[in-house]
Amino acid sequence: MLTVKKYLPAILSFWLITGCGRGVNQDPQYDILITGGTLVDGSGAPGIRADVGIRGGTIAAVGDLSAARAAGIIDAAGLTVAPGVIDIHSHSDYSLLVDGDTQSKVRQGVTTEIIGEALSAGPVRPAEEKSRPVEGPGFGVKIDWETLAGYFDHLAAAGTSVNVGSFVGSMTVRRYVLGDTNRRASGEEIGQMVSLVEQAMREGALGVSSALLGSPLSTEELIAMARAAGEFGGIYSTHIRDEGDRIFESLDEAFRIGREAGVPVDVIHLKIADRKLWGQMDRVLEKFEQARSQGVRATANMYPYIAGQNDLAALVPPQGHDGGTQAMLARLRDPARRAEYRKILYAGGLPNWYNHYTASASWQSMLIVSVSTEKNRHLIGMTMDQVIAVSGGKEPTDVLYDLLLDEGGSVPTVYFLMTEEDVRTAMASPLVSFGSDGVAVKPEGALGEGQPHPRWYGTFPRVLGKYVREEKVLPLETAIQKMTSMNAEKLGLKDRGLIKEKMAADIFIFNPATIIDRATFSDPHQYPTGVEYVIVNGRMVLDGGKHTGARPGKILYGPGKK
C-alpha cells in the first residue's frame, strides 16, 4: 500500500535551531515517490533499477531518488514499473457513463481507453438511436446529445478513472446522413459525411474508424472521410471487410484508403479467422511490409485470444440488414427470405461478406454469451450446436432465425475462429501492438450481466503472464512497448506512453512473477492477479490491488481540437 510519509516536528525544530533550515523548503518534493522497482519505460529498452518522482500530475524525475521527500511512497521492490496501458481498441463508449470507475480495465493496468471504433457516440440523432437495439448504446444510457463534443461534455461531467480519446465512426457518420439504407451515397451525401468528419475532428476526434464486415460503406466514401480526418492530423482505424478467405483483398482496400487519403492505417484485431487459411499470418504481415514500402504507414493491433466476438445477427447476409433491425426482423418472419438466406449461408456467402458459418466450419464454434429475455437465459454459455440439439429437430437456421426474433435481433456470440500459431506470429511482429476490443465492466450490477469475451477482463495481463513469462513469445520490454508508447505514437499522444520527465504520470505497477488473466470463456467476470498499483494523471486509482474510487481521467483530444 502507498505509505504517507510524515515529518516529525522535532526534525523541523533541529533545522530551525541550527540555522540549517534557512531558505530550505521542507515541503515534500513529490506527491508520490516510487522506489525500488524495475523500470520498464515503454521505449523497448531493457529494464533498469530506478525511482520515479511524481508531482502535479507529471513525472518530475527518474533515477536515484533515495534522498527525496514525498507525501506518499510506493515500495516497488520486486515489482515492474511501467507506463499505463493505452487500450487502443475499446468499446466502453456507454459503459463509461454507467460507471466511470472502469474496473475491468483499471485492474489490467489500463490508464487510457480509445473508443469510437466503427460506431462512435457522435454525431447521432437521439430519436433514431432508440430504434437500433442491435447497435444501440445499451446499459440503459439515455442519449441526449448529438455531437461528439456533447458526448465528451457528458463524460467529463460524470468523471472517469481513466483517460478517454475517441475516433469518429464512419458508420455513425453515414447513418446520420443516410439512415439505415444500404444504398451507395451520392456525391452530395459524401460531401455531407466529409463535413461531419471535419466537425468531429475539430471537436477532438483522433481520426476516423470503420468496421466493414457486411457494411454498406464504399471504398470511395471511406477515402473521402479518411482524407478529411487526415487534414487535421488524424488516422484511419479499420476492422477490415473480411478476415477470412478474402483477407488479402480486404487489406488491399485498407491500404488503398490510406494511400489515397494520405493517412496512417491501423488494422484492428488483426487475425486470420478462417480455418482454411490457418498458418498464413506471415503472408498477411508481408502485405503490411509491402504497403509500407509504398509509403503507407500500415500497422495493426490485436488481442491474445483464438476467439472473437460478434453477434448471431452476423450470420444474416447484408441484404437482410437493409433498413435496420426492425426491417431485418420482418424479413426473418418470411419463409421465402429464410430459404434465401439459408442457401447463401450454406453455399459460402457473397462477395464482400464475411461468412462466420463457413469460416468456423461448425455450429459448435459459436458460444452464446448474452441474451435479453428471461425465457432464453438458460442458453447463455451454450454453443449453437447444443441449442440446435434441444430445439426439437428444427432445421439449424430456423433455430438461428427464431432466436434472433425472440431476442429483438441481437444475440452476442463468441466465435472460435483462430489458431494459436497465428496469434503468436502476429504478436511477435514489430508492426503489431495490443488492444482489448473490450468494454469496461465489473462483476456486479448491470455491467456484470451475461458472459462476455474474457478479453474484457484479461487482455493485457494475459500477454504479460502467458505469452511473456510462460511461453516467452516476446520479451517483457517489447510487450510493454506494444501496450504503451507504440499505441501513443500511432494516436499522436505525445505526452503518454513513456516514463520520462515531463510526461503525464500514467503508471502501471505489477508483479512480473504473478501477473496473469483469470477470466475464461465459461467464467469471464474475474479480475486478473498481479496488478498492484495504477496511477492516472498523478493520482492513485489502484492501491495495493484495491480501487480507490478516484476519477482523475481526462479527455484526450486529437490534433484538430483548438
Per residue in 187-237, pLDDT tens? Answer: 999 999 999 999 999 999 999 999 999 899 999 999 999 999 999 999 999
The mean predicted confidence, pLDDT, of the chain is: 93
Contact 195, 235 (CB under 8 A): no
All cell numbers assigned to 201:
475532428
**pTM recorded for the entire structure:** 0.93
Per residue in 261-288, pLDDT tens? Answer: 999 999 999 999 999 999 999 999 999 9
- Residue 323: other Cβ atoms inside 10 A: 15
SS3 93: coil
d(CA 122, CA 116): 9
- Residue 204: other Cβ atoms inside 10 A: 21
pLDDT at 11: 33
Percent of the chain as helix, strand, coil, to the nearest 5: 35, 20, 45
- Residue 377: other Cβ atoms inside 10 A: 11
Domains of the chain: residue spans and CATH: 85-309+418-497 (3.20.20.140), 310-416 (no CATH)
pLDDT at 517 over 50: yes
